[in-house]
């Protein structure tokens, strides 16, 4: 399977996994808008979010809510969600700790100023979110 998210689900590509259950997976975005930016995906390969069946949609959004609650540990001003799917054709929801009202836009992506945290920085965030 050439889908990078399916490869993360199967374990053939490593990821900083924050949460996993039978039907969903949450992991750190390695080019976050802000530290703690999490991607939530259903384990079934469905390219477009709106095509998820209702049961998987509900399970995915339940994981999104868990991750949003989890991210309050990082004390963001707000938590934002984004679904746009331009990058990977496997339904996913960005759950982003927000420090500024403009963070959830693609401003950083457009300007090329997405963060590039080190392995150590990602592991430190992961530790905060999984303990
Ligand atoms: Zn996939």
- Report whether pLDDT(8) > 80: yes
Specify the pairing of strand 93-98 against strand 38-42: antiparallel
- pLDDT bracket for residue 111 (50, 70, 90): low
Reduce the DSSP state of residue 79 to 3 states and report it: strand
Q: How many domains does the chain have?
A: 1
Active site positions, annotated: 92
pLDDT higher than threshold 60 for residue 72? yes
The parent domain of residue 59 ranges over: 4-130
Between the CA of 45 and the centroid of ligand 1 the distance, in Å, is 4
- pLDDT tens-digit profile of 9-59? 999 999 999 999 999 999 999 988 889 999 999 999 999 999 999 999 999
Task: Give CA angle at 131 (90, 77), nearest 5°.
Answer: 70
Give the distance (Å) from ligand 1 centre to CA of residue 75.
Answer: 31
pLDDT band of residue 108 (cuts 50, 70, 90) is low
16: domain CATH number is 3.30.428.10
């Amino acid at each position: 399977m050439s889908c990078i998210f399916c490869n993360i689900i199967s374990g053939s590509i490593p990821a900083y996994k924050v949460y996993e259950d039978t039907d969903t997976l949450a992991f750190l975005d390695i080019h976050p808008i802000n530290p703690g930016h999490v991607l939530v995906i259903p384990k079934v390969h469905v390219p477009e979010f709106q095509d998820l069946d209702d049961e998987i949609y509900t399970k995915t959004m339940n994981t999104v809510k868990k991750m949003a609650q989890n991210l309050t540990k990082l004390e963001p001003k707000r938590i934002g969600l984004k679904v746009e799917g331009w990058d990977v054709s496997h339904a996913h929801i960005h759950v982003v700790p927000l420090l500024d009202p403009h963070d959830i836009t693609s401003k950083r992506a457009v300007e090329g100023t997405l963060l590039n945290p080190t392995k150590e920085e990602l592991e430190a965030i992961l530790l905060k979110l999984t303990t």
